[in-house]
Amino acid sequence: MDGSAAGNEVVVTPEPAGTLALGDAPRMDCRNVNVFYSGKQAIFDVSLPIPDRSVTALIGPSGCGKSTFLRCLNRMNDTIEGCRVEGEIIMDGKDINSPVIDPVLLRSRVGMVFQKPNPFPKTIYENIAYGPRIHGLAQGREDLDEIVEKCLKRAGLWEEVKDRLTVPGTSLSGGQQQRLCIARAIAVRPEVILMDEPCSALDPIATARIEELIDDLRKRYCIVIVTHSMQQAARVSQRAAFFHLGKLVEMGDTDQIFTSPRDRRTEDYITGRFG
Amino acid sequence: MSEQALSSFGTDRARKRLRRRRAADRRFKWYGRAAIGFALAALALLLASIFSQALSAATYHVVSFRIDAGRVVAAENTSGALKEVYDQVRADLFEAFPDASGTPAGRQEVSALVTRLAALPIAERLRASPARRGMEQVSLPLSDDVDLYLKGAAARQVTINFGPVAAEPTEDGQGVRLSGAGAFARLIAAASLEHANVTDVSFLVTGGRSTVRLTRLSADEAEGSLIAGTASEFGNRALCARIILAPQSERTVSDRQIAWALALKADGRVRRVPHWSLLTHTDSTQPELAGALAAIVGSFLTLLVTASLAIPVGILASIYLEEFAPKNRLTSLIEVNINNLAAVPSIVFGLLGAAVFLGVMGLPRSAPIVGGLVLALLILPVVIIASRAALKAVPDSIRQGALAVGASRMQTVFHHVLPLAAPGMLTGAILGMARALGETAPLLLIGMVAFVADVPRGPGDEASALPVLIYSWATQAERAWEPMTGAVILILLAFLIAMNVAVVYLRHKFERRW
Q: Residue B31: is it exposed, middle or buried by C-beta count within 10 angstroms (0-12/13-18/19+)?
A: exposed
- Mean of pLDDT values over B19-34: 96
Residue A255: pLDDT band (50, 70, 90) is very high
Q: How open is the CA angle B435-B440-B441, to the nearest 5 degrees? A: 115
- Mean of pLDDT values over B414-425: 92
pLDDT recorded at residue A90: 92
| Residue A13 confidence (pLDDT) above 50 | no
Tell me whether residues A76 and B416 touch, CB distance under 8 A.
Answer: no
pLDDT recorded at residue B449: 79
Tell me whether residues B416 and A120 touch, CB distance under 8 A.
Answer: yes
Name which residue leads in pLDDT, B71 or A111.
Answer: A111
Q: What is the pLDDT of residues A33-69, one digit of tens each?
A: 999 998 899 999 999 999 999 999 999 998 889 999 9
Tell me whether residues B402 and A120 touch, CB distance under 8 A.
Answer: yes
- Mean of pLDDT values over A84-95: 91
Nearest residue of chain B to residue A71 (CA atoms): B404
Choose among A119, A135, A181: nearest Cβ to B406: A135
Contact B63, B142 (CB under 8 A): yes
Q: Which residues of A touch B411 (CB under 8 A)?
A: 134
Tell me whether residues A114 and B398 touch, CB distance under 8 A.
Answer: no
Q: What residue ranges do the domains of chain A occupy?
A: 27-66+76-270
Number of neighbours of residue B424 by Cβ within 10 angstroms: 22
> Between A and B, how many CB-CB pairs are < 8 A?
71
Q: Residue B173: is it exposed, middle or buried by C-beta count within 10 angstroms (0-12/13-18/19+)?
A: exposed
Number of neighbours of residue A212 by Cβ within 10 angstroms: 13
Nearest residue of chain A to residue B327 (CA atoms): A81
Tell me whether residues A130 and B415 touch, CB distance under 8 A.
Answer: yes
A110-113 and A94-95 strand pairing: unpaired
Distance CA A192, CA A27 (A): 8
B 455-514 residues inside an 8 A Cβ radius of A: 512-514
Q: Which residues of A touch B412 (CB under 8 A)?
A: none
Name which residue leads in pLDDT, B244 or B353.
Answer: B353
Looking at 3.30.70.260, 2.40.128.20, 1.10.10.10, 3.40.50.300, the CATH number of the domain A27-66+76-270 comes to 3.40.50.300
Beta partners for residue A123, in sequence order: A168
Name which residue leads in pLDDT, A20 or A61.
Answer: A61
| Residue B227 confidence (pLDDT) above 80 | yes
pLDDT recorded at residue A17: 40
B 381-410 residues inside an 8 A Cβ radius of A: 395, 397-408
Q: Taking an 8 Å Cβ-Cβ cutoff, which residues of chain A contact chain B? A: 74, 76, 79, 81, 104-105, 107-108, 111-114, 116, 118-121, 130-131, 134-135, 168, 170, 181, 184-185, 187-188
B271 touches A at CB < 8 Å: no
B329 touches A at CB < 8 Å: no
Residue B169: pLDDT band (50, 70, 90) is confident
Q: Which residues of A touch B416 (CB under 8 A)?
A: 120
- Mean of pLDDT values over B249-267: 86
Choose among A104, A119, A121: nearest Cβ to B406: A104
pLDDT recorded at residue A196: 94
- Mean of pLDDT values over B95-122: 87
SS3 B63: strand
- Start-to-end CA distance of chain A, whole Å, equals 42
| Residue B318 confidence (pLDDT) above 90 | yes
As assigned by CATH, the class of the B155-251 domain is: mainly beta
Distance CA B375, CA B347 (A): 11
Contact B242, B92 (CB under 8 A): no
pLDDT recorded at residue B102: 81
Mutation site, B324, B405, B410, interface A, largest A CB count within 10 A: B405
Q: Which residues of A touch B402 (CB under 8 A)?
A: 120, 130
Side chain identity, residue B210: S
Domains B155-251 and B293-510 share a fold: no
Percentage of chain B lying above the pLDDT 90 cut: 41
Tell me whether residues A76 and B403 touch, CB distance under 8 A.
Answer: yes
Choose among B398, B404, B514: nearest Cβ to A76: B404
B212 touches A at CB < 8 Å: no
Side chain identity, residue B339: N
Tell me whether residues A107 and B405 touch, CB distance under 8 A.
Answer: yes
Tell me whether residues B398 and A76 touch, CB distance under 8 A.
Answer: no
B 21-40 residues inside an 8 A Cβ radius of A: none
Nearest residue of chain A to residue B415 (CA atoms): A130
Annotate chain A with DSSP letters as a single string: --HHHHHHHS--PPPPGGG--TTSPEEEEEEEEEEEETTEEEEEEEEEEEESSSEEEEE-STTSSHHHHHHHTTTGGGGSTTEEEEEEEEETTEETTSTTS-HHHHHHHEEEE-SS----SSBHHHHHHHHHHHTT---HHHHHHHHHHHHHHHTT-HHHHTT-TTSBGGGS-HHHHHHHHHHHHHTT--SEEEEESTTTTS-HHHHHHHHHHHHHHTTTSEEEEE-S-HHHHHHH-SEEEEEETTEEEEEEEHHHHHHS-SSHHHHHHHTTS--
B 122-151 residues inside an 8 A Cβ radius of A: none
Smallest Cα distance from B409 to chain A, Å: 9
Q: Which residues of A touch B419 (CB under 8 A)?
A: 121
Q: Give the least confident one: B233-237, B304-308, B370-374.
A: B233-237
Tell me whether residues B406 and A105 touch, CB distance under 8 A.
Answer: yes
SS3 B240: strand
| Residue B197 confidence (pLDDT) above 90 | no
Percentage of chain A lying above the pLDDT 90 cut: 70
Tell me whether residues B327 and A81 touch, CB distance under 8 A.
Answer: yes
Choose among B400, B405, B514: nearest Cβ to A121: B514
Q: Which residues of B touch A130 (CB under 8 A)?
A: 402, 405, 407, 415
Distance CA B164, CA B167 (A): 9
pLDDT recorded at residue B357: 92
Q: What is the pLDDT of residues A116-125, one digit of tens each?
A: 999 999 999 9
Q: Give the least confident one: A132-141, B152-161, B381-390.
A: B152-161
Q: What is the pLDDT of residues B436-454, one digit of tens each?
A: 999 999 999 988 877 888 8
Q: What residue ranges do the domains of chain B occupy?
A: 63-140, 155-251, 293-510
User: If you average pLDDT over every residue of chain B, what do you get?
Assistant: 87
Tell me whether residues A188 and B399 touch, CB distance under 8 A.
Answer: no
Q: Give the ipTM of the model, two decimals please.
A: 0.86
| Residue B70 confidence (pLDDT) above 90 | no
pLDDT recorded at residue A21: 46
Percentage of chain B lying above the pLDDT 70 cut: 95
Q: Which residues of B touch A114 (CB under 8 A)?
A: 397, 400-401, 404
Distance CA B236, CA B166 (A): 7
Q: Give the least confident one: B328-332, B393-397, B420-424, B475-479.
A: B475-479
| Residue A269 confidence (pLDDT) above 50 | yes
Choose among B408, B415, B420: nearest Cβ to A104: B408
Tell me whether residues A131 and B406 touch, CB distance under 8 A.
Answer: yes
Tell me whether residues B401 and A74 touch, CB distance under 8 A.
Answer: no
Q: What is the pLDDT of residues B334-383, one digit of tens each?
A: 999 999 999 999 999 999 999 999 989 988 888 999 999 999 999 999 99
pLDDT recorded at residue A6: 41
Smallest Cα distance from A136 to chain B, Å: 12
Looking at 3.90.1150.10, 3.30.70.100, 1.10.3720.10, 3.40.50.720, the CATH number of the domain B293-510 comes to 1.10.3720.10
User: If you average pLDDT over every residue of chain A, what do you get?
Assistant: 87
Q: Which residues of B touch A105 (CB under 8 A)?
A: 406
pLDDT recorded at residue A150: 93
B245 touches A at CB < 8 Å: no
**Among candidates A101, A66, A107, which has minimal Cα distance to A224?**
A66
Residue A11: pLDDT band (50, 70, 90) is very low
B326 touches A at CB < 8 Å: yes
| Residue A1 confidence (pLDDT) above 80 | no
Residue B213: pLDDT band (50, 70, 90) is confident
Q: Which of A264-273, B228-237, B372-381 has the highest mean pLDDT?
A: B372-381
